[in-house]
Amino acid sequence: MSSIAVELFDRVDEFAECLTANPKDFWKDKASNESIAVFCENFFGQFFATLGAPIAGFGVKAKEAAVRKRLSLPESAAPTRQLIAEYEDLCEIWDDIKGARYVEDREAMQDFACTYLSALLEDAAGWLATLSSPDDKLVLARAEQCWDKYQEAVKPICP
């Protein structure tokens, strides 16, 4: 069994398809924006479960728990530490992103799509590459495929 459900990456594809279909108004598509929120919530929930540190949500206490976990890991666990740092960054912007989905804040969603999500997908693939189970290798292949598709989708909206 894989550490991360491969189906989660379908949510990123849904978001990428929205970007491709409507790059000027993608932030107005509440369904695709909800899909990417579902991806983030579930990806990090599953990720932290694999670390034996069940962290949920994106609040201050969750971020503090993540910082403690990151600092407890050795330097040799760099991909894991980097992914935890991505989570910490998401905790900082989550309320803005969550709100942007409802008030149609183009700037916040564009920054999230162009900067944060691209880095998260790349770092997720880097972490998955450190895992050795055959199921995890399938998830890695799906994550890489998803990242490639996503990079093409964000080109028209990213400066």
Minimal CA–CA distance to 101: which of 152, 21, 34?
Answer: 34
Looking at every residue in the chain, the average pLDDT score rounds to 89
pLDDT tens column, 52-91? 999 989 999 999 999 999 999 999 999 999 999 999 999 9
Map out the domains of the chain as residue ranges. 8-154
What is the rounded radius of gyration, in angstroms, for the C-alpha atoms of the chain?
15
pLDDT tens column, 16-56? 998 888 877 776 777 777 888 889 999 999 999 999 999 98
Torsion of CA 139, 141, 146, 149, to 10 degrees: -170
Minimal CA–CA distance to 27: which of 115, 102, 117?
Answer: 102
Local structure of residue 59 (DSSP, 8 states): S
User: What is the C-alpha to C-alpha distance for residues 156 and 76, in angstroms, rounded to an integer?
Assistant: 37
Distances (CA, A) of 52 to 49, 82, 140: 5, 17, 21
